[in-house]
Structure 1
Amino acid sequence: MKTMETERLILRPFRYTDCEDLYEYAKNPNIGPNAGWKPHESLEESKAIIKKFIEEDEVLAIVWKVNNKVIGSLGLHKDHLRSADNVRMIGYVLSEDYWGKGIITEAVKAVLAYAFTELNLDLVTVHHFAYNEKSRRVIEKCGFHYEGTLRHCTKIYNGNTYDLMCYSMTRDEWERLYA
């Protein structure tokens, strides 16, 4: 994906030099479980994740302009719950130190513009576990429409199964909100 800039953020492909920043937030037990993954246990684990991000080219580093630090990530992935080709799913995580500042909302809005104007997608989806209220608020602020709940949908790393709240936005809806 291409590099994007907002008022406070730079959204860019990950680099191997981002390993320490990624590990710093990914080891926090309040981060990974909200997205369904286990907290990172080592710098090597974070390095392997960055390698995957670079190879797949679906995830951007969220860089805080004030200190040039990677404070989270935002991905635009194939939505495995849908068979249509022109659909992608947004996923994101953010360092707990930066929660409550509207950062993910700002990043998601930038990626939505890219998704609909440059990738010409028809639909962008986003999901969150039922217990993740912070993510729900971001999704609603961005203007996504609630589609429904897939009950007992996702089993995560610890063996627990959770309901998945599903939302989407069409290109027409995005144009009415933002264009």
Structure 2
Amino acid sequence: MYDKDKEIFWIELEQKKIGLIVIHDSSDTIPLFDIRLEEKARGKGIGELALKWLTQYIFSHPVKKIRIEAYTRSDNTAMRKTLHKCGFVKEGYLRQAWEHEDGSVFDSVCYAIIRNDWENQTRTPIKLDDLPY
């Protein structure tokens, strides 16, 4: 499915829909995304396959993309592990930045992969402590 600035793809296994990929800001040079898997599909490597497909899809786009960003709750260890495994670098930790409808608030973590790293199969470290403030 395609919308002006959003692309949506089903994740299927054995011809059954088990998840969803949503690319936000798809016309921008720096898109971000969501991956959702139903509970019974988790922990089987499907998220990793989906993320690798997504990265290939975005960086193979005719309009050159600079980077891909992802945000996840700090307690979503599985997604954080998957992002790291797929070459994404943790670039930020946002305190109380993920609010739920019930009023609960969680910390959020920002990950990204840059085109250069993807093309060269490298991981450029960030300058976390470049200034004392």
TM-score by length of 1: 0.62
AA paired with 1:141? Answer: K
Aligned residue among 45, 65, 71 for 2:18: 71
- Structure 2 portions without partners, runs of 5+: 123-133
Partner of 1:172: 116
Would you say 1:61 and 2:10 are equivalent positions? yes
| Structure with the higher fraction of residues in strand conformation | 2
Q: How does 1:1-179 map to 2 (within 5 A)?
A: 13=1, 55=3, 57-64=6-13, 66=14, 68-78=15-25, 85-118=28-61, 119-177=63-121
Unaligned runs of 5+ in 1: 1-12, 14-53, 80-84
SS of alignment partner, residue 18 of structure 2: strand
Larger helix percent: 1
The AA in structure 2 aligned to 1:61 is W
CA RMSD of aligned residues (A): 1.9
SS of structure 1 residue aligned to 2:65 = coil
Deviation for aligned residue 1:138: 1.0
Identity of aligned residues (%): 29
Q: Which runs of 4+ in 1 moved over 4 A?
A: 54-57
- Shift in Å at residue 73 of structure 1? 0.4
Structure 1 CA distance for aligned equivalents of residues 29 and 76 of structure 2: 27
Figure out how many residues of one structure are paired with residues of the other and give that number.
119
TM-score (norm: length of structure 2): 0.81
**One-letter code aligned to 1:69:** K
Secondary structure of 1:121's aligned partner? coil
